[in-house]
Amino acid sequence: MRVLVPLAQGFEELEAVTVIDLLRRAGIEVIVAGLSEGPVKSSHGVAILPDTTLEAVQDQDFEMVVLPGGLPGAQHLEEDPRIREILRRHAERGAYTAAICAAPKVLASAGLLDGHQATCYPGCVKPEDFPRLSLVDQPVVVDGQVVTGRGPGTALDFALALIEALAGRERRDAVEGALLRTR
């Protein structure tokens, strides 16, 4: 099982690192790819060194592509034609596409949220711009092969939903249990 997490300058570090960490704890191979070579700085100045570049993996297949939010990171993802092509190709073959915070707009712009329910950070996706999308006020929404999350505060729930989608409820419960999370 392989998951691609592309990182753009200005990504939201809580969303990216939580997804990367929890999926790896679940035994899922996560490939972190920068839009260009070198470290990628988050929206709060934290630098992450990706595993590789997007160029090196853009033609590979993954079971899921996960877009972290944050601004201007999500904007950079939306403006990169390689991201749009990767998302469309993976959606066409039935792979999961996932985005959190401001990044669901990237999925919406690529037409991947048409006819789906989704959530995002308030105001990032305007319903009038995407009339075939049903926005809901929930922390995480799983609709078919599309998973969306609301924002940094929902990153843990979002990552656990990704694990469940890819590896099942038992694996999700094992990862969550080891976190000693209280509700």
Q: Which residues are catalytic?
A: 101
Residue type, 29: E
Cα–Cα dist 7/131, whole Å: 28
For the chain, the maximum distance between any two Cα atoms, rounded to a whole number of angstroms, is: 42
- Alpha helical stretches, state H, 11-146: 13-25, 54-57, 73-79, 81-92, 104-109
Cα–Cα dist 167/87, whole Å: 21
